[in-house]
Amino acid sequence: MSVSTFTYTRTHTATYVADNMRNQLKRIIQAAGLSPEDLADSWNVLGEAVRTWLRSGHLRKVILEFYKPGSDKLEGRWDFDIDYDGSGVDDDMWVDREHLRRTIEKAGQPPPGCVYRVVLRHDPEAPMVTGMSSTDLRATDGFTSRAAGTSIATSDIMAGLNYWRRS
């Protein structure tokens, strides 16, 4: 009789969550009628930061802001809240793409002429990642956050999805 086992490590789950986070950001950006090219171009730095801070347990939130060029006024926002409790099931790794599609339909699109940026929120003691710098988020005055449930799940990391709509 032979027995085998497969164990996910934080490195595997961090990579899984980071890759699927990029894919979900891409879908949201495309649904807004924008090109995900800037996301793809910046993912070498952003992806390294996401993976590093997921592995260390310091990443708290991935934020996608929509705004008009030259303006500090928020036009739309999506948050992926990171939770390190996970599902606790060793081989549990999933992404709910259909749920994301339905949530995008509910949230609607930002107004025409918007651009986007991705902002990462982390604990103060997070390790430094080359290419990352500090920034301020655009004010959410006049917007209400709507929780949309879990978007990405693994045994030890989960990403919850929130979108912001005008109040």
- Ranges of each domain in the chain: 10-126+138-166
Split at pLDDT 50, 70, 90, the class of 2 is low
Q: Does the domain formed by 10-126+138-166 have CATH 3.30.900.10?
A: yes
27, containing H or E segment: helix 10-31
pTM above 0.85, yes or no: yes
Per-residue pLDDT of 72-131, as tens digits, reads 999 999 999 999 987 666 668 999 999 999 999 999 999 999 999 999 999 999 999 999
* Tokens coding 32: 């807004």
